[in-house]
Chains A and B, each alone.
Chain A
Amino acid sequence: MARILIVDDDPDIIEAMRVVLENRGYDVDSALDGTKALERIGANRPDLIILDVMMTTPQEGFNLARQLKQDCQTAQIPILMLTAVKQKTGIDFKPEAGDQTWLPVEGYLDKPVRPDVLIQKVEALLHKG
């Protein structure tokens, strides 16, 4: 079964998502920040990364996403970003328009994510890849 890495600085969010995903049979790994995320990716390559947009600094999620997409080892791993799409993040990007050059991720979801919505999105991204 596919392996999913959750990167979020909120352990409770990680646990809740872990329950939802493991319930569907996915293998779930997690990291609380960008550095640990890179370690986990190096140690055990995931098939999908769920990435929180704001971690220790507001930019950390964005930076990690870009870094991963620039590295040919990790560029193929789809990223599902957790962000308040409908809210202004204070940063000018238009996720709905698929601003791939600015932020190269494959999907977006607003927190909190309903379990059924999360499963649906994860499955769509895994099958696309």
Chain B
Amino acid sequence: MEEILQSPSMAKRAMWLVQLRWVAIGALVVATFVSRRFLGVKLASEQLYYLAGGLLVYNAALYGLLRWLTRSRAEPPSKAIGRVISLQISGDLAILTTILHFSGGIENPFAFFFVFHMIIASILRSPAESYVQAALACLLFGAVVVLEYAEWIRHYPLEGFAGHGLYRDGVFVLGTLFVFCVTLFLVVYMTTSIAQQVRAQQADLELANRQLKEQDKLKNEYVLRVSHDVKGHLAAIQSCIDTVHDGLLGPLNDAQKDMIGRAHRRTAQALAFVTDLLRLTHMKIAGKVQISCFPVRAMVAKAIGAVRDRAEAKSIGLSAEISPSLDIICGEQLLLEETLENLLFNAVRYTPAGGKVRLEVFDQGQEVVINVMDTGIGIPWDEMPHIFEEFYRASNARAVDREGTGLGLSFAKQVVERHGGRISVQNNQGGGCTFTIVLPKGADRGTGRT
């Protein structure tokens, strides 16, 4: 049997059939009751109620079986579940046949409900099995109407609904049966053709998706390799320039100092860019974070400490508040500290002298919320959607400071998402903006998505 659906969704479908059956059982009871009581159709209601009772037991057993098959297993056994689905479809054909037998046989138009079973078989199972199920339906229903016609078994008439004696009319019986069977086979033919097309498309999409992921991985490895090499050269250049720049090889005149200063600055910029790119790419390739729990206070103190000098140099008021109920935070410590430093660094960089930068960390149910607020230049509203994109820098940020790699916020986003959290930004009413990180509290929430 070909694997048509992946097992988790197959298990879901199998359970869906069980749920549909609960509804069908209810409908059988209600329809029997209403037909007899209000429509005056004389039904063999006693037998039908017994059947409904039997169906309840049958459906409960299927429910139990499926629960047992899927219990505590991430990957339920797809073959077994496939067999349960086949069993359900065949069982339902037998049950519907029995119900029809007790409610008029060939005279009951509900016979065309077999179409539903054919559609379900065609979607969930293979074409071959669907044709077998169609043949089984024809055989079962055909046997009942032929046996009733031959009066080998009793006929339960639908008095008050269909003309009495139709079941004995050979032409009517054969004609109806013929149309019935042709309908079932046509339904299977049409549905399986469409289902196969959909499946083929799905397989193509999955393949394309896999290829894209593979290419993305190759790209990341390529970027990693190139930036690693370039970083090696830049580090050597920087080290050599440093010796001249710092006057270790003798004093420089002003023109030499100016030129070497320019070279020094540009190398530092290129190095910062390559370092950021390396970090971001490492993050993308690594895929998962190593989670441990550590004191929030230590993280905040470290991040604040990293930007204190810069803030003081610009007379920016730097403050931090941690809600008293929050002691520890779980995540990859170095990455979270770096992310926080990044955001604070940005806040200080884009806040004019005399402004304020504030860090808040607080508890919110199952999550930890970190706010980095500033009274800086804010972000133009139409550029908001791009702010976390790689290499993107807001126009006003570029105007304030030509340096900057445009990779800091992409890195922050990667880090936060790897932790199963989210990051967002909004402008404050009085000016400046607030970056908000929301992290799940549990240590087990880190995701290993690649």
Seen from chain A, the residues whose Cβ lies within 8 Å of a Cβ on chain B are 10, 12-13, 15-17, 19-20, 23, 84, 86-88, 90, 92, 94, 96, 111-116
Are the CB atoms of B334 and A86 closer together than 8 Å? yes
CA distance A94 to B239 in the complex (A): 26
Stretch from B136-144, B164-172, B205-213, B230-238 contacting the other chain: B230-238
Contacts of B242 in A (CB 8 A): 16, 20, 112, 114-115
Are the CB atoms of B248 and A20 closer together than 8 Å? yes
Contacts of A113 in B (CB 8 A): 239
Shortest Cβ distance from residue A15 to the other chain B in the assembled complex, whole angstroms: 7
Are the CB atoms of A23 and B248 closer together than 8 Å? yes
Q: Digitize B32-56: 1 where CB-to-A-CB distance is under 8 Å, 0 elsewhere.
A: 0000000000000000000000000
Of A19, A20, A96, A111, the residue contacting B235 (CB under 8 A) is A111
Q: Which of B188-247 contact A (CB under 8 A)?
A: 232, 234-240, 242-243, 246
Shortest Cβ distance from residue B419 to the other chain A in the assembled complex, whole angstroms: 15
With A15-B240, A16-B242, A113-B239 given, is the CB distance from A87 to B232 under 8 Å? no
Stretch from B21-29, B96-104, B278-286, B349-357 contacting the other chain: B278-286
User: Is B290 in contact with chain A by the CB < 8 A criterion?
Assistant: yes
Of B239, B246, B248, B275, the residue contacting A12 (CB under 8 A) is B239
Of B243, B283, B290, B338, the residue contacting A20 (CB under 8 A) is B243
Are the CB atoms of A10 and B286 closer together than 8 Å? no
Are the CB atoms of A115 and B243 closer together than 8 Å? yes
Are the CB atoms of A16 and B239 closer together than 8 Å? yes
**CB-CB nearest in chain A for B332:** A88
Count how many chain B residues have C-beta atoms less than 8 Å from C-beta atoms of the other chain. Answer: 23
User: Is B249 in contact with chain A by the CB < 8 A criterion?
Assistant: yes
Q: Digitize B263-281: 1 where CB-to-A-CB distance is under 8 Å, 0 elsewhere.
A: 0000000010001001100
**CB-CB nearest in chain B for A114:** B242
Interface centre among A13, A16, A94, A113 (most CB of B within 10 A): A16
Q: With contacts defined as CB atoms under 8 Å apart, how many contacts are there between chain A and chain B in the complex?
A: 56
Contacts of A96 in B (CB 8 A): 334
With A19-B248, A19-B249 given, is the CB distance from A92 to B290 under 8 Å? yes
Shortest Cβ distance from residue B184 to the other chain A in the assembled complex, whole angstroms: 60
Are the CB atoms of A88 and B286 closer together than 8 Å? yes
Are the CB atoms of B235 and A13 closer together than 8 Å? yes
CA distance A20 to B283 in the complex (A): 34
Interchain Cβ contacts under 8 Å between A and B, 7 examples: A17-B239, A92-B290, A112-B236, A112-B238, A112-B239, A115-B243, A116-B246
Are the CB atoms of A87 and B246 closer together than 8 Å? no
CA distance A17 to B243 in the complex (A): 8
Interface centre among B232, B234, B271, B290 (most CB of A within 10 A): B232
CA distance A88 to B275 in the complex (A): 12
Shortest Cβ-Cβ A-B pairs, 3 listed = A16-B239, A112-B235, A12-B236
Are the CB atoms of B246 and A115 closer together than 8 Å? yes
**CB-CB nearest in chain A for B242:** A115
Contacts of A19 in B (CB 8 A): 243, 248-249
Contacts of A94 in B (CB 8 A): 334
Are the CB atoms of B236 and A10 closer together than 8 Å? yes
Contacts of A115 in B (CB 8 A): 242-243, 246, 248
**CB-CB nearest in chain A for B271:** A112
**CB-CB nearest in chain B for A8:** B236
With A20-B248, A92-B290, A96-B334 given, is the CB distance from A87 to B279 under 8 Å? yes
Of B236, B246, B283, the residue contacting A13 (CB under 8 A) is B236
CA distance A77 to B339 in the complex (A): 36
CA distance A16 to B246 in the complex (A): 12
Q: Which of B368-401 contact A (CB under 8 A)?
A: none
